[in-house]
Amino acid sequence: MSEIITLHIENLSFEAIMGILESERQTPQSILIEARLDYAYLPNGAFLNYVEICEFIIHHIQLNAYELIESALLQLSSALKAAFPHIKGLYICIKKPQILSPYVVGASIEKIF
């Protein structure tokens, strides 16, 4: 019997190109990601490696240099499911903590597969 486990990722912070303003297209800015990934855990089988997941997210966002957070959310959620097929559902929030300081703005997506 499998159990649904949720992997939590908090305060995943890194620099990346993201945004539509000219300055955002030229200079990397701080990106902050929170995520929850649900998967069917089997004691002798499937599990999600949080190190691999974090590295995957950072690489994907930095490689694609998205203009819109919404585009990043849609493509990242699909890419995570393709790379880690054990994922049954996810929640991802992408924030840009410095773009409108002192406020922190962002967007999120939630999917069930």
Total of domains in the chain? 1
Range of the domain at 94: 3-112
Q: How many CB atoms neighbour CB 76 within 10 A?
A: 22
Residue recorded with tokens 């959620």: 77
For residue 3, the surrounding DSSP H or E stretch is strand 3-16
Over residues 72-83, the pLDDT tens digits come to 999 999 999 999
Query: What CA–CA distance (Å, rounded) separates 109 from 36?
Result: 11
**CATH number for the domain including 43?**
3.30.1130.10
Q: What is the pTM of this model?
A: 0.94
DSSP alpha helix (H) spans, 1-113: 22-26, 50-64, 69-83
User: Per-residue pLDDT for 45 more than 80?
Assistant: no
